[in-house]
Structure 1
Amino acid sequence: MNILLDQGWSEIDSKLVKNYVLPNFAEGINFINLIANEAEKADHHPDLKLYNYKNVRISLTTHSKRRITKKDIALAKTIDHIYDSMKVY
């Protein structure tokens, strides 16, 4: 999990949390939809929040375990990959 913390993820209240900034509202929605597709495949669903029209906050935890698990770590890596592949910096 240390590698995730080095990549901007934080551990807050037994959750992995990260904020992303997209170029605009449409790209924020696109990012959320791409995450949703991968979350469905993994049968693991993060909390997603779009705020200030182009900011996305991701919160990952395994609710049944009340802690961060391997599923959260795997999905966090996938989310970072999605963002990186969007070339939105």
Structure 2
Amino acid sequence: MLRLKQDLPTSIVLQKQSFLPLKRVNIEGTVPSFAAAVTIAQVFRNDENQSTESVYCFSTEEQAAIDLFIARIDDCETIVQLKEK
């Protein structure tokens, strides 16, 4: 989910949340041993005439692990360094 960031008090934000539309999803997976390796690609598009600031949220199961996160926005690629809890 890609939620538009708003600088409003929490009670107002919860009532008026806006989201960027998800345009495409691609999921690929393998099960090489006891755990699955899954790659998920999500494409969001801002169809508005102005730029927006957004917050990306990805829910996982409690026992799931994410080992790589890459965000591509236009021609810019951001690779996130993940650390153990």
Flag whether TM exceeds 0.5 (same fold). no
Q: Using CA pairs under 8 Å that are at least 6 residues apart, name the structure with larger relative contact order, 1 or 2.
A: 1
What is the TM-score when the length of structure 1 is the normalising length? 0.31
Larger strand percent: 2
> Considering only CA atoms, is the larger Rg found in Structure 1 or Structure 2?
2
Q: Which has the higher helix share?
A: 1
